[in-house]
Amino acid sequence: MINIDSLDFEKVNGLMPAIIQDAQSFQVLMLGYMNKEALQKTLDEERVTFFSRTKQRLWTKGETSGNHLELVDIQQDCDDDTLLILANPKGPTCHTGEQSCFYRKDFKPDSQLNFLGNLEEVIISRKKQMPEGSYTTSLFKNGIDTIAQKVGEEAVETVIEAKNENHNLVDEVSDLIYHLLVLLVAKGVPLQSIIDNLEERHSK
């Protein structure tokens, strides 16, 4: 997951900032500090542990409240002196009872968009690994013509459902979006490029 020896604890006097982010919504939950022992304990127990600067000891989040942060992933920044930790919060993260310590300004992460990003990652993984029995794998094996044809078919079926006012419109739109994502991955176009393009158009 991470190599502790690659981190530069000396630069930060032994205490490294650790940004905690919700692994599902990507909302920033809190900021804490870790020394090597806290990071090792986090890795060993898969619960986020900090070094408390006020208590001057290791402190596992939720050790009193029960609101633990279950570890999902850790990565270091480009200077090897800051950590970004993805976690699944078990209850409110903030001692005030709020989900995030950064609650004073209304913040509603776009979990739906994050889901599309996660789906894109799964499709990319299928393209790299090509697991047997996967429908996505079969699309990539059949090539771009088949993928493009499926996008066309799903687009037509979406239009038909919309015009006929049937009850399958949501299913058809879902199929269309999925096959569009497969097409983008096949062509090497990141979903973020589409988002950036839409944002640019919106600003004009």
Residue 168: its pLDDT value, please? 87
φ, ψ of residue 4 in degrees (nearest 5): -60, -35
Question: What is the per-residue pLDDT for 202?
Answer: 79
Helix-strand-coil split of the chain, %, nearest 5: 45, 20, 35
Asked whether the domain spanning 111-203 has the same topology as the one spanning 4-89, the reply is: no
pLDDT at 152: 97
For residues 182 and 123, what is the distance between their CA atoms, to the nearest angstrom? Answer: 7
Does residue 113 or residue 53 have the better pLDDT? 53
**CA–CA gap between residue 104 and residue 82 (Å, rounded):** 24
Strand 16-22 vs strand 28-34: parallel, antiparallel, or unpaired? Answer: antiparallel
CA distance 20 to 30: 5
> pLDDT tens digits, residue range 11-58?
999 999 999 998 877 889 999 999 999 999 999 999 999 999 999 999
Give the separation between CA 9 and CA 73, rounded to whole angstroms.
Answer: 19
With a cut of 60, say whether residue 199 has pLDDT above it. yes
Is residue 75 over pLDDT 90? yes
Q: Tell me the pTM.
A: 0.55
Superfamily of domain 4-89, CATH level 4: Phosphoribosyl-AMP cyclohydrolase (3.10.20.810)
pLDDT above 80: residue 1: no
Q: What is the mean pLDDT of residues 124-139?
A: 94
Confidence grade of residue 108 (pLDDT, cut at 50, 70, 90): low
Which distant-in-sequence residues (6+ apart) come within 8 Å of 199 by Cβ?
Answer: none
Q: Which pLDDT score, from 0 to 100, does residue 109 have?
A: 54
Q: Please state which CATH number belongs to domain 111-203.
A: 1.10.287.1080
Where exactly are the structural domains of the chain? 4-89, 111-203
Q: Under 8 Å CB-to-CB from 89, ≥6 apart: which residues?
A: 22, 29, 67, 68, 69, 70, 99
pLDDT at 183: 97
